[in-house]
C-alpha cells in the first residue's frame, strides 16, 4: 500500500478500525489489520465504499473479492453511510471520515444498532466511549 494511493475503506470498517485491539480471524488478518490501522495514522485519502476493501483482503469471508456475509456487511455499510451523510464511493481524508464516525455514531451510542449482532460486538461494548477529543479514533 503506497502512501499516494487512495485507500478503499468499507464504511463500517470506520468503526472496526476504531475498536480494533489485536484480535481477529487469524494471525495474518490481525497483522494486516494492524498495518491498515497504522496506515490510517498518516491520514490518507480514502474512498468510502459498501464492498470489499483493504481490510477485507485477508479476511476468511472474502471469496474472490466478495464477502460471504455481504447482505449483513452491506447493511452495516449503508447505515454508516447514511448516518455520516456520505454516499458509496465518497472520497475524503481518513481523519475527516473517522471524525464523522466518532461524532455521529460512536459518541451518540448508535454503534450497537448498526452492528450489535457482529461476532466482535463484545470487544466493542467494552470499548464504547474511549475516544479522544481531537477527532481521531
> What pLDDT, in 10s, does the model give residues 24-42?
888 888 898 999 999 999 9
Cβ atoms of 9 and 49 within 8 Å: the answer is yes
- At 114, which helix (H) or strand (E)? helix 111-115
In this predicted structure, what is the pLDDT of residue 1? 44
Strands 62-63 and 66-67: antiparallel
> What pLDDT, in 10s, does the model give residues 60-111?
778 888 888 878 889 999 999 999 999 999 999 999 999 999 999 998 889 9
Mean pLDDT of 115-128: 86
Where exactly are the structural domains of the chain?
7-127
Query: Is the whole-model pTM more than 0.95?
Result: no
Amino acid at each position: 500500500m503506497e502512501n499516494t494511493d487512495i485507500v478503499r475503506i468499507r464504511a463500517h470498517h470506520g468503526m472496526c478500525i476504531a475498536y480494533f485491539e489485536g484480535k481477529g480471524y487469524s494471525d495474518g488478518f490481525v497483522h494486516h489489520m494492524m498495518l491498515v490501522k497504522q496506515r490510517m495514522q498518516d491520514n490518507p485519502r480514502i474512498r468510502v465504499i459498501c464492498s470489499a476493501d483493504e481490510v477485507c483482503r485477508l479476511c476468511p469471508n472474502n471469496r474472490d473479492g466478495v464477502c460471504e456475509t455481504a447482505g449483513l456487511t452491506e447493511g452495516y455499510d449503508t447505515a454508516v453511510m447514511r448516518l455520516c451523510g456520505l454516499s458509496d464511493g465518497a472520497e475524503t481524508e481518513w481523519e475527516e471520515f473517522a471524525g464523522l464516525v466518532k461524532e455521529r455514531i460512536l459518541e451518540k451510542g448508535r454503534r450497537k444498532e448498526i452492528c450489535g449482532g457482529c461476532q466482535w460486538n463484545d470487544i466493542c461494548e467494552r470499548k464504547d466511549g474511549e475516544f479522544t477529543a481531537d477527532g481521531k479514533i
